Chains A and B, each alone.
Chain A
Amino acid sequence: MADLGRIVAVVPAFREEGAIGGVVAGIKAVNPAIDVVVVDDGSPDRTAAAAAEAGAAVVRLPFNLGIGAAVQTGFRYALEHDYDTAVRLDGDGQHDPNELPKLLEVLALGEADVVTGSRFVGPDRTYRPPLARRLGITWFAKLVSMLTRQRVTDTTSGFQALNRKGISLFARDYPSDYPEVEGTLLVLRTKLRLVEVPVVMKTREHGRSSITLPKSIYYLFKVTLALLIAMARRATLPADEREPR
């Protein structure tokens, strides 16, 4: 067993004043020892205040940077404050804090650097996304599996637990929009160990998904291109985390 040490939950949020309090409280209810940092991505509403009231540390970005940069800010916070473990949950409540222990248990086994909550492994597959989205998710899973010769089922899941190596990697390199797919590729190419565990995800509690159909098609091409270009790039871990040889 690896000691998980101090744990921080990184929660990116944009316009989530309705949901964020519940997410923070949910994490605290599962394990009060987990610190929560909410990264408010320049929301015009009360997201930051609601998060602070619920007991989270709040990093408020001065303007909207997009999901990738917001998540990366959280990992930088984890690195700067010397946390040993980080978990990432979305601020809209789709990642159920009650599923957190599953991710942390696997990370504690010490056989993974990054643990992803996947909607497509395990027996209980209740998550049925709309056809278009399912096709997109399958496409990226197959593409990343093929490029890295490692089987992954859910490259678009942002529900993750990471050890220090994972935190350092993402604090330095994290893609901008739709970052999870390219992030997964980066993890595998830097030879970090990725393990997927089955999780159940909730449907959105508040607001609407920011992704519309034309946007989805645009992202499909953009992310596919980004993946292929990323393959042509050298993938290295930050200097501090490389194995001494």
Chain B
Amino acid sequence: MTPVRVSIAAAIASILVILIVLELIRGRRLKERYALLWLATGIVLLILSLWRGALTTIAGWVGVETYPPAILFAAATLFIIIVLLHYSTVLSRLTDDNVRLAQEIGLIRERLRAHESALEQLAGGRTDGRA
């Protein structure tokens, strides 16, 4: 069984994670889309730290017999890996979007320059005609 003090410490840490994430969302410093995984992390860790019987059972499933709290570490690590992978996909998409935007800006500026010089020629031609 997990020592009570470990459970309490883990629960406090999980609650802190949840509160910090909620506060970041409230202050609009974190978008819900990116916060969900963090909230899930905090909630799962909170459940595992309070529901001590479940932790022991899961530990038994995966062959951890001497120290069930190791499952807390494993769960936390797993969630962090998932969050990081998610960030990598977000980063990749942002990179593609960024490239696309830069290309569009280049193309639009070229178009703008072409239009401006055509306008200038038009205006120039008209004044020549009047003179």
Do A80 and B99 have beta carbons less than 8 Å apart? no
Q: Which residues of A contact B103 (CB under 8 A)?
A: 61, 65, 69, 72-73, 76
Q: Which of B87-131 contact A (CB under 8 A)?
A: 99, 102-103, 105-107, 109-110, 114
Do A61 and B106 have beta carbons less than 8 Å apart? yes
Least CB separation from B109: chain A residue: A60
Interface size class of A (residues with CB under 8 A): 10 to 19
The answer to the question of A219 belonging to the interface, with a C-beta cut-off of 8 Å to chain B, is no
Least CB separation from B98: chain A residue: A65
| C-alpha spacing A183/B99, complex, angstroms | 18
Q: Which of A33-70 contact B (CB under 8 A)?
A: 37, 39, 57-63, 65, 69
Q: Which residues of B contact A72 (CB under 8 A)?
A: 103
| C-alpha spacing A83/B122, complex, angstroms | 25
The answer to the question of A178 belonging to the interface, with a C-beta cut-off of 8 Å to chain B, is no
Closest CB-CB distance, A32 to chain B, in whole Å? 19
Query: Which of B105, B106, B114: most chain A Cβ within 10 A?
Result: B106
Closest CB-CB distance, A55 to chain B, in whole Å? 13
Q: Which of A55-110 contact B (CB under 8 A)?
A: 57-63, 65, 69, 72-73, 76-77, 80
Do A63 and B106 have beta carbons less than 8 Å apart? no
| C-alpha spacing A59/B105, complex, angstroms | 9
Do B107 and A62 have beta carbons less than 8 Å apart? no
Do A62 and B105 have beta carbons less than 8 Å apart? yes
Do B106 and A73 have beta carbons less than 8 Å apart? yes
Chain B proximity mask over A121-158: 1 for CB below 8 Å, otherwise 0: 00000000000000000000000000000000000000
Do A59 and B102 have beta carbons less than 8 Å apart? no
Q: Which residues of A contact B109 (CB under 8 A)?
A: 59-60
Q: Which residues of B contact A62 (CB under 8 A)?
A: 102, 105-106
Do B107 and A58 have beta carbons less than 8 Å apart? no
Do A58 and B102 have beta carbons less than 8 Å apart? no
| C-alpha spacing A65/B100, complex, angstroms | 10
Do B102 and A76 have beta carbons less than 8 Å apart? no
Least CB separation from A40: chain B residue: B106
| C-alpha spacing A60/B109, complex, angstroms | 8
In-complex Cβ contact of A69 among B99, B105, B114 (8 A): B99
Closest CB-CB distance, B68 to chain A, in whole Å? 40
- Sample 22 A-B pairs with CB under 8 A, ordered by A number: A37-B110, A39-B106, A57-B110, A57-B114, A58-B110, A59-B106, A59-B109, A60-B106, A60-B110, A61-B102, A62-B105, A62-B106, A63-B102, A65-B99, A69-B102, A69-B103, A73-B103, A73-B106, A76-B107, A77-B107, A77-B110, A80-B107
List chain A positions with a Cβ less than 8 A from chain B: 37, 39, 57-63, 65, 69, 72-73, 76-77, 80
List chain B positions with a Cβ less than 8 A from chain A: 99, 102-103, 105-107, 109-110, 114
Q: A62-B106, A73-B106 are in contact. List 16 more A-B contacts (CB 8 A).
A: A37-B110, A57-B114, A59-B106, A59-B110, A60-B109, A61-B102, A61-B106, A62-B102, A62-B105, A65-B99, A65-B103, A69-B99, A69-B102, A72-B103, A73-B103, A73-B107
